[in-house]
Amino acid sequence: MGILDRLGVRKVINACGTLTVLGSNRVDSEVLSAMKEVADSFVDMNELLVKSGDYIARLLNVPGALITSGAGSGLVLAIAAAITEGDINKMSRLPFTDGLRNEVVVQYPHTVGNPYVYFINIPGGKLRITGSPRGVSESDIRGALNDKTAAILHFQYEPQGGEVTLSKVIEIAREFNIPVIVDAAAELPPLINLTRFIRMGADLVVFSWG
């Protein structure tokens, strides 16, 4: 009897794809072997995170990478980074962000049925929704940006109606010198997406490695 049987957990047929709620994906034996190798040792976890991130960044030819416990935690860290801008003193205040640039702009269509949008609140971000059920315009996004804006968060789903496209969002953000965070949790495969959004000009991209 396996562990799932002992716990009384049913196996299911996955007809949906790489969804977190279904366990994302089955883990390759090579990955399991690497996990076991590390699990048999004591290491400096900060060093492991930095070195593993550097390794992935070199593989992808991107400025930097960080392994997190999932796309949700990656999103929380991304928002925290946008709010604190590398300032240790600001980091020590989280999630208390009064007086800081803490607003995160999200298009209305990206909030519909999306529980992950509320992860913005965990590090002290303030959700600012722009647009309406009728859709979002470029002027809506420009009008939502102000001196309190920490970032624009773009949930990448393809296709999605009523939104301003990511390429246009990046263009607008550059006008205001505001970072663009892309939640691309479900955009793998294809593997080309690992670098696609960075090449488009996004500042930080979050994936679920499932």
Per-residue pLDDT of 148-163, as tens digits, reads 999 999 999 876 889 9
Q: In the Cβ-directed half-sphere of 196, how many Cα atoms lie within 13 Å?
A: 15
**Residue 192, CA distances (Å) to 20, 143, 196, 198 in order:** 21, 33, 6, 11
8 A C-beta contact, residue 2 and residue 10: no
Name, in order, each residue with C-beta under 8 angstroms of 122's C-beta and a sequence gap of 6 or more: 76, 79, 95
Phi then psi for 195, rounded to 5 degrees? -120, -10
Task: Report d(CA 39, CA 18) in Å as an integer.
Answer: 25
Contacts of residue 74, Cβ cutoff 8 Å, sequence gap at least 6: 66, 68, 206, 207
Low-confidence ranges of the chain (pLDDT < 70): 159, 210
Q: Which pairs with CB-CB distance under 8 Å and at least 24 residues apart come from 18-23? A: 18/186, 18/188, 18/208, 18/210, 19/186, 19/210, 20/70, 20/71, 20/72, 20/185, 20/208, 20/210, 23/210
pLDDT of residue 200: 97
Buried b (16+ CB within 10 A) or exposed e, 94-131: beebeebbbbbbbbbbbbeeeebbebbebbbbbebbbb
Q: What is the pTM of this model?
A: 0.89
